[in-house]
Amino acid sequence: MGERKLVLVTGATGYIGGRLVPRLLAEGYRVRVLARAPSKLQAVPWRDAVDVAAGDLADPQTAARACEGVDTLFYLVHSMGSGADFETRELEMAGTVADAAARSGVRRIVYLGGLHPDNVPLSRHMRSRTAVGRVLLEGVVPAVVFQAGVVIGSGSASFEMIRHLTENLPVMPAPSWVRRRIEPIAIRDVLHYLVRAPELPPGLNRAFDIGSREVLTYADLLYGYAHEAKLAPRRIYSLPVPAPRLAGWWVALTTPIPHAMAVPLVESLQHDAVSAEHDIDGYVPPPPGGLTGYLKAVELALGRIRSGDVETSWTNASGRPPSDPLPSDPDWAGRTVYVDERLRDSTVGPEYVWQVIEGIGGENGWYSWPAAWVIRGVLDKLVGGAGHNRGRRHGGRLGVGEAVDWWRVEHIGNGPGGKVLRLRAEMKVPGDAWLELSALPHGTGTTYRQRAVYFPRGLAGKAYWWLVLPFHGLIFPSMARNILRHAAGLEHASAGVEAAGMPGP
User: CATH code at 113?
Assistant: 3.40.50.720
pLDDT at 487 > cutoff 60: yes
CATH code, domain with 434: 3.30.530.20
| Residue 488 pLDDT class (50, 70, 90 cuts) | very high
Q: Quote the CA–CA distance of 224 and 233 in Å, as a whole number.
A: 10
- 3-state DSSP assignment of residue 72: strand
Task: Tally the C-alpha atoms within 13 A of residue 124's C-alpha that lie toward its C-beta.
Answer: 19
Please state the rounded mean pLDDT for residues 96-101: 95
Mean of pLDDT over the chain: 83
Q: Let me know whether 367 and 420 are in one domain.
A: yes
Decide: helix, strand or coil at residue 91.
Answer: helix
Q: What is the mean pLDDT of residues 2-7?
A: 84
Give the Cα separation of 393 and 411 in Å (integer). Answer: 16
Torsion, Cα of 154, 157, 162, 164 (10° steps): 80
pLDDT band per the 50, 70, 90 thresholds, residue 243: low
Task: Classify residue 209: in a domain, yes or no.
Answer: yes
Residue 172 domain-assigned? yes
Average the pLDDT over 257-265 and give the result: 73
Q: Is the pLDDT of residue 468 over 70?
A: yes
Sheet holding 338-346, edge to edge: 338-346, 445-456, 431-442, 418-425, 407-415, 403-404
pLDDT in tens, 176-217: 888 989 999 999 999 999 999 999 999 999 999 999 999 999
Q: Say if residues 460 and 472 touch (Cβ distance below 8 Å).
A: no
Using the 3D structure, point to which of 283, 302, 321 is the last residue of a domain: 302
Q: Is the domain of 243 the same as that of 167?
A: yes
- Domain final residue pick, 302, 324, 358: 302
Q: Which residues have CB under 8 Å from 498's CB, separation 6+?
A: 504
Number of domains forming the structure of the chain: 2
**Residue 37 — pLDDT band, cuts 50, 70, 90?**
confident
The reported pLDDT for the residue numbered 34 is 92
Q: Are residues 240 and 347 in the same domain?
A: no
Evaluate whether residue 206 is within a structural domain: yes
| Whether residue 75 is found in the same domain as residue 183 | yes
* Non-local CB neighbours of 137 within 8 Å, separated by 6+ positions: 143, 145, 205, 206, 207
* CA separation, residue 31 to residues 15, 50, 199, 219 (Å): 17, 5, 15, 40
Q: In terms of Cα–Cα distance, which of 87, 120, 485 is closest to 273? A: 120
Do both 287 and 347 map to the same domain? no
Q: Is residue 91 one of the residues assigned to a domain? A: yes
pLDDT-derived band at 118, boundaries 50, 70, 90 = confident
Flag whether pLDDT at 297 surpasses 60.
yes
Q: Is residue 222 part of a domain?
A: yes
Does a structural domain hold residue 382?
Answer: yes
Does any domain span residue 324? no
C-alpha to C-alpha distance for 390 and 407, rounded to whole angstroms = 9
Whether the per-residue pLDDT at 325 is higher than 70: the answer is no
Q: Is residue 473 part of a domain?
A: yes
Q: Both 50 and 161 in a single domain?
A: yes
What pLDDT score does 302 carry? 85
The predicted structure's pLDDT at residue 393 = 64
Judgement on whether residues 290 and 344 belong to the same structural domain of the protein = no
Taking only the tens place, the pLDDT of each residue in 376-418 is 777 766 766 655 556 666 667 788 888 888 888 888 888 878 8
User: Is the domain of 485 the same as that of 352?
Assistant: yes
Q: Looking at the structure, do residues 41 and 143 belong to the same domain, yes or no?
A: yes
Query: Is residue 353 domain-shared with residue 422, that is, in the same domain?
Result: yes
**CB 128 within 8 Å of CB 78:** yes
> Above 80 in pLDDT, residue 458?
no
211 and 263 inside one domain: yes
* Cα–Cα distance, 223 to 359 (Å, whole number): 44
421 and 450 Cβ atoms separated by less than 8 Å: no
pTM summary value: 0.68
Q: Count of alpha carbons within 13 Å of 416, Cβ hemisphere only?
A: 5
Residue 308: predicted pLDDT: 29
Domain end residue (candidates: 285, 302, 319)? 302
Measured distance CA(483)–CA(188) in Å, rounded: 45
Q: In the predicted model, is pLDDT for residue 85 greater than 90?
A: no
Coil/strand/helix, residue 206: strand
Compute the distance between CA of residue 263 and CA of residue 259 in angstroms, rounded to an integer. Answer: 6
42 and 178 assigned to the same domain? yes
Task: Name the more confident of 292 and 465.
Answer: 292
Structural domain for 45, as ranges: 6-302
| Other residues' Cβ atoms within 10 Å of the Cβ of residue 52 | 15
According to DSSP, the residues that pair with 185 across neighbouring strands are: 151
Contact 428, 460 (CB under 8 A): no
Listed range (92-106, 183-197, 397-411, 431-445) with the worst mean pLDDT: 397-411
Q: Does residue 161 or residue 280 have the better pLDDT?
A: 280
